[in-house]
Amino acid sequence: MTTNTYLIKEGYNNLNKHGSKTISTMLIICATMLILGIFIIILQNVNKNVETLRLEQGLQAFIEDKATDEDVAYMEDEIKLIPGVSEIQYMSKAEAYEDAKEQFKDQDYFLEGLEDLEIFPASFIVKFTNIEEAETIKEAVEKIDGIYNVKYNADTIEAVISISKVANYFLLGVGIVLLVVSVFIISNTIKLAVYSNKREIFIMRYIGATNSFIVKPFIVEGAIMGIMSALISFIIISIVYVYIYASLNSSYALGVFKFIPYSTIWYQILIAYIVLGLFIGIFGSAISLKKYLKA
């Protein structure tokens, strides 16, 4: 048995020795990870749906009223030159009116008589190949003379985007708070473990143990707690997500909203959890061991 395997074994034994404390610590870390996981999943789903809708619907660029046919042709050429634009479609004022009538087909009475007034502006519908380029394309289109407004072509998307922005900040805030709580809890558990091993530590010092020798089993203990919490959280969240996916995705209750299949995000969650678990475990134990690093 090399020294390192011995130290890992000692760390593992510590876990068993403080069984109930270990379990309660892991439960709290799991809770943290689950909450974080749910937020990540919601965020991923919202982002993905926004992307899909943006890609499907494209941008709508409104043309100033004073624009002549030549101007329109020029604008169309300009837009075509923007990298990433896959399709461009001109919608005249008349077509815009028809489109509005189509959208309000049951209540189109209030549109009657407006046809001649040409209140609906002409526009281009611009589609693109890659969602990542959407913002750049939007900015480029906005700069073209004769275009006075560019927006994503579905009103609902704009709302979803602002909600997802709020969700992003909320996630970040909750994540930081929970992370701090988890680190604090694990450091507290390790502090107790150190305390209950203080006799061993005292003897070790007299025999001539190096600091790293004394500290390693506790770091291992923290890391094991972190990784085990990560795996448990991963299993729970996988089961829940797959269940929700199966029962909700086929229903019409969610409208256009579509859940991302779990197969495309499971590894991101697993990696995030393990990294997070290791960080919480190692950092948490390290801060409680700092004062024991004196000779």
Partner 1 sequence: MIEFVNIVKKYDHGIVALDNVNLKINKGEFAFLVGPSGSGKSTFLRLLIKEEEPTSGKILVEGKDITRMKKKDIPYLRRKIGFVFQDFRLLYDRTVEENIVFALRVIEASEREIKTQLKTVLQMVGLSGKEKFYPNQLSGGEQQRVALARALATKPPILIADEPTGNLDPKTAEEIFKTLLEINARGTTILVVTHAKDIVDTLNKRVIALDHGKIIKDEARGVY
Structure tokens at 22: 């270990």
Task: From 123-131, 186-194, 197-205, 263-271, give the range in contact with partner 1 by CB under 8 A.
Answer: 197-205
**Residues ≥6 apart with Cβ < 8 Å to 24:** none
Please report whether residue 292 would count as binding partner 1 according to CB under 8 A: no
**Which single residue is written with the structure tokens 């709508």?**
60
SS3 154: coil
In terms of residues, how long is the chain? 295
Task: Provide the residue type at 41 as one letter.
Answer: I
**CB closer to partner 1 out of 7 and 178:** 7
Q: CA 139 to CA 189: how far, in whole Å? A: 53
Please report whether residue 6 would count as binding partner 1 according to CB under 8 A: yes
**CB closer to partner 1 out of 24 and 210:** 210
Which one of residues 76, 200, 240, 279 is an interface residue with partner 1 (CB under 8 A)? 200
**CB closer to partner 1 out of 271 and 293:** 293
Task: Tell me the H-state helices in the chain.
Answer: 3-17, 19-57, 69-81, 93-103, 134-142, 155-196, 198-207, 211-248, 266-289
Please report whether residue 295 would count as binding partner 1 according to CB under 8 A: yes
Please report whether residue 3 would count as binding partner 1 according to CB under 8 A: yes
Please report whether residue 209 would count as binding partner 1 according to CB under 8 A: yes
Which one of residues 86, 89, 149, 210 is an interface residue with partner 1 (CB under 8 A)? 210
Least CB distance to partner 1 at residue 235 (A): 34
Which one of residues 27, 81, 203, 254 is an interface residue with partner 1 (CB under 8 A)? 203
Contact between 261 and 245 under an 8 Å Cβ cutoff? The reply is yes
* Contact set with partner 1 (CB under 8 A): 1, 3, 6, 199-200, 202-211, 213, 295
